[in-house]
């Protein structure tokens, strides 16, 4: 199973992000989720939104972020890169420029966040790129249908959360959810995140049959202690193998 670690891009600097990506991969991460910091990250946690704001204080030139991601790809050719961007950031970059950047560098998987319509999503898919879709643990019919209609990987919520109100009795466990998506004909990768905080969580994701596990805040909070961070990534990596 793949281990996917979130790189808070540009925090504290673009240059340090390049080095952090190398540390991730050296410790055992094999897929990097790299964001373009947004000026309006309205769906993010306080941790991520604060990092995005501080990154943009240092550098608000998206051209520099594109150059940096290409550098990471060049220096870490064996690590797969997932590009995360808010719709508002793609609008700031320019949709044609964003698509050209992804296509020219082989970044075929896009996590598109904060949609106000399907306009940009449809343009990205029409250009031959893949857009991921998010499915909550509740396994809502409309989200399953959206996943069936999408062309990218499925981002499956790994755990139920209290404010969602209920667990779908047809799919009471993560394994049931993943099998349910497969039964609906979805044969694309299913990566699980939200609630994956420990190696034991990653083991649960693996045993449920997922293709990968997203790990975010657990790693980000250790970045000021590099040995501890790399040791934690290795713990996750050992479980994912």
Model pLDDT, residue 130? 97
pLDDT of residue 166: 72
Q: How far does CA 85 lie from the centroid of its chain?
A: 10
- E-strand spans in the chain? 2-7, 31-35, 80-86, 109-113, 130-131, 133-135, 154-157, 190-193, 212-215
pLDDT at 160: 85
- Residue 100 is part of a domain; what is its CATH number? 3.20.20.70
Determine the pLDDT at residue 161: 78
Rounded CA gap, 222 and 183, in Å?
39
Amino acid 167: pLDDT: 83
pLDDT along the chain (241 residues), means of 10: 97 96 98 97 94 97 98 98 98 98 97 94 96 95 93 95 77 97 97 96 98 97 97 98 92
Q: Domain count for the chain, please give it.
A: 1
Which residues does residue 213 pair with via DSSP β-bridges, in sequence order? 3, 192
pLDDT number for residue 165: 64
3-class SS string, 162-191: HHHCCCCCCCCCHHHHHHHHHHCCCCCCEE
Is 194 in contact with 159 (CB distance < 8 Å)? yes
Distance of CA 133 to the CA centre of its chain: 11
* Structural domain boundaries, residue 46: 2-240
Residue showing tokens 């793949």: 2
- The whole-model pTM stands at 0.95
pLDDT at 163: 66
Please tell me the predicted confidence (pLDDT) of residue 164. Answer: 67
């Amino acid at each position: 199973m793949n281990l996917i670690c979130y790189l808070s891009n540009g925090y504290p600097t673009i240059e340090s992000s390049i080095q952090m990506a190398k540390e991730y991969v050296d410790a055992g991460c094999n897929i990097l989720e790299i964001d373009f910091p947004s000026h309006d990250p309205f769906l993010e946690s306080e941790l991520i939104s604060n990092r995005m704001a501080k990154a943009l204080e240092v550098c608000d030139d998206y051209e520099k972020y594109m150059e940096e991601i290409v550098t990471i790809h060049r220096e870490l050719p064996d690590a797969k890169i997932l590009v995360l961007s808010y719709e508002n950031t793609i609008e700031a970059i320019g949709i044609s420029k964003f698509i050209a950047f992804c296509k020219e560098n082989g970044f075929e998987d896009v996590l598109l966040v904060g949609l106000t319509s399907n306009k940009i999503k449809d343009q990205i898919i029409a250009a031959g790129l893949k857009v991921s879709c998010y499915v909550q643990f509740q396994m809502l019919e409309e989200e399953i249908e959206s996943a069936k209609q999408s062309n990218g990987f499925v981002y499956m919520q790994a755990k139920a959360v209290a404010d969602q109100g209920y667990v779908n009795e047809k799919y009471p466990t993560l394994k049931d959810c993943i099998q349910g998506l497969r039964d609906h004909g979805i044969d694309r990768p299913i990566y699980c995140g939200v609630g994956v905080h420990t190696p034991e969580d990653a083991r649960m994701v693996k045993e449920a049959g997922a293709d990968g596990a997203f790990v975010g805040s657990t790693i980000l909070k250790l970045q000021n202690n590099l040995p501890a961070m790399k040791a934690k990534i290795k713990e996750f990596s050992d479980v994912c193998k």
